């Protein structure tokens, strides 16, 4: 593995949430967050940080950007333990890490260029604001006011500011939100170029689809913990989600028990209104021919890519109902701490 640009060792941060009592209505207690998390980001790697809403993605990125402090744990930059430096850890992170938040409310009559120059004045060294805006495709919007920008343009402006100071670590929180397909491909190309030049990048998302050919590795986060990590193909294999085919056709459902080979397995099937659909694990290369030779009609056949819910269910052993996309504060407590009194 390449030299590590960033290492997290037992990193923890917990949000404080209201817990009023009769005598202390202002009382608070520790709630959800990131729990004893370990993660390594090699130089020049693109890491996809994937998890449902409320899993801890944004909290983790804010910690790495120096926006919120660590409760405990160690962060190393290029092998340098930041806890042993004289400067505060959050200051060192802000000096070395570029951060693009998920949503920034760019409002007002100030122009795009004026906004960039205002942020540039807060950074050390000379920053070419026009060059950065050109890099993200905003060179024609220099004099436009912030109120006139579309959501996609606001995303590009946030990215340009994150690139100030030529950071070697770049954190992108849902960077493709609000971008049309052409703009998204442009950002994806630029991110790959940055990685080729040695920049280490973490991209957070609540979708797995579309990342297979884009990221080098995937880290699946749930309840503030990394529950699976590695190349997407490796995670699929380890979780039993690889080599699956979705098949659909018309007429009578094929007898898959007779048509599948010894390794093949019928995972699920539906048969309604003279149409059928099935998912098969580890089909052999001649399965389609056997189905057609038995007089069945196929109009749909393609590999089934796992979604985030499937990955979480297999990684945690929980059911879909237990995973949920809407997570309340209690369910966001990590698996290892479930039942803890606070």
Token digits of residue 302: 């393609």
pLDDT in tens, 267-276: 888 988 889 9
pLDDT of residue 313: 80
pTM for the complete prediction?
A: 0.80
pLDDT at position 209, please? 66
- What separation in angstroms does the CA of 330 have from each of 11, 33, 34, 58, 226? 21, 11, 14, 18, 18
Give the 3-state secondary structure of residue 31: strand
Kindly indicate the confidence band of residue 137, based on its pLDDT and cuts at 50, 70 and 90: confident
What's the mean pLDDT in 277-296?
A: 89
* The pLDDT of residue 210: 65
The pLDDT mean for the chain works out to 85
Q: Token pair of 309, please?
A: 């819910």
Q: Residue 14, exposed/middle/buried by CB under 10 A (0-12, 13-18, 19+)?
A: buried
pLDDT at 277: 92
pLDDT at residue 334 greater than cutoff 50: no
CA angle 305, 311, 317 (to 5 degrees): 145
SS3 of 224, please? coil
pLDDT, one tens digit per residue, over 5-15 is 999 999 999 98
Q: What is the mean pLDDT of residues 21-30?
A: 87
User: What is the DSSP-derived secondary structure letter of residue 2?
Assistant: P
- Is residue 47's pLDDT more than 90? yes
Q: At what angle do helices 151-162 and 181-196 cross, to 10 degrees?
A: 10
Q: By percentage, how much of the chain surpasses pLDDT 70?
A: 92
User: pLDDT band at residue 336, thresholds of 50, 70 and 90?
Assistant: very low
Tokens 């049309």, located at residue: 180
Helix (H/G/I), strand (E/B), else coil: 118: helix
- Across 145-157, average pLDDT: 88
Rg (CA), the chain: 24
| Half-sphere exposure in the Cβ direction for 125 (13 Å, CA) | 8
Predicted pLDDT at 21: 86
Contact criterion met (CB below 8 Å) for 191 and 46? yes
Query: Span 40-49, mean pLDDT?
Result: 93
- Contact yes or no for 32/15 (Cβ under 8 A): yes
Please report which confidence band the pLDDT of residue 63 belongs to, taking 50, 70 and 90 as the band edges: very high
* Edge-to-edge strand ranges of the sheet holding 46-50: 97-100, 169-173, 200-205, 46-50, 217-222, 225-230
Q: Is 280 a residue whose pLDDT tops 60?
A: yes
The mean pLDDT value for 30-54 works out to 89
pLDDT category of residue 62 using cuts at 50, 70 and 90: very high
Residue range 218-277, pLDDT digits in tens:
999 988 899 889 888 888 888 888 788 899 999 889 999 899 988 888 888 898 888 999
Whether 308 contacts 241, CB under 8 Å: no
**What is the tens place of the pLDDT at every residue in 154-213?**
888 998 999 998 899 999 998 887 777 887 888 888 889 899 999 999 999 877 766 777
Taking Cα atoms as reference points, which of 65, 157, 50 lies closest to residue 111? 157
């Amino acid at each position: 593995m390449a030299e590590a640009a960033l290492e997290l060792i037992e990193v923890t941060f917990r949000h404080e949430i209201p817990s009023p009592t009769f005598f202390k209505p202002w009382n608070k207690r520790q709630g959800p967050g990131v729990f004893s998390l370990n993660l390594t980001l090699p130089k020049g790697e693109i890491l996809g940080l994937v998890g449902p809403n409320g899993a801890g993605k944004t909290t983790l990125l804010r910690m790495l950007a120096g926006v919120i402090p660590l409760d405990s744990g160690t962060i190393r930059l290029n092998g340098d333990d930041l806890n042993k430096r004289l400067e505060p850890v959050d200051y060192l992170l802000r000096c070395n890490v570029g951060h693009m938040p998920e949503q920034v409310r760019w409002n007002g009559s100030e122009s795009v260029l004026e906004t960039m120059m205002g942020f540039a004045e807060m950074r050390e060294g000379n920053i070419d604001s026009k060059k950065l805006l050109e890099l993200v495709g905003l060179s024609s919007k220099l004099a436009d006011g912030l109120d006139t920008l579309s959501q996609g343009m606001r995303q590009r402006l946030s990215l340009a500011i994150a690139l100030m100071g030529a950071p070697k670590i770049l954190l992108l929180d849902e960077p493709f939100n609000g971008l049309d397909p052409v703009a998204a491909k442009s950002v994806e190309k630029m991110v790959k170029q940055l990685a080729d030049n040695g920049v280490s990048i973490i991209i957070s998302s609540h979708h797995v689809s579309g990342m297979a050919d884009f990221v080098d590795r995937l880290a699946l986060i749930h309840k503030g913990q990394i529950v699976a990590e590695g190349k997407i193909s490796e995670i699929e294999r380890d979780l039993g989600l690889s080599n699956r085919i979705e098949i659909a056709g018309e007429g009578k459902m094929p007898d898959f028990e007779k048509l599948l080979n010894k390794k093949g397995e019928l995972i699920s099937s539906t048969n309604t209104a003279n149409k059928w659909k099935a998912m098969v694990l580890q089909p052999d290369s001649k399965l389609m021919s056997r189905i057609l030779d038995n007089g069945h009609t196929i109009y749909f056949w393609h590999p089934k890519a796992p979604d985030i819910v499937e990955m979480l269910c297999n990684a945690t052993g929980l059911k879909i109902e237990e995973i949920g996309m809407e997570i309340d504060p209690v369910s966001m407590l990590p698996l290892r701490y479930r039942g803890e009194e606070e």
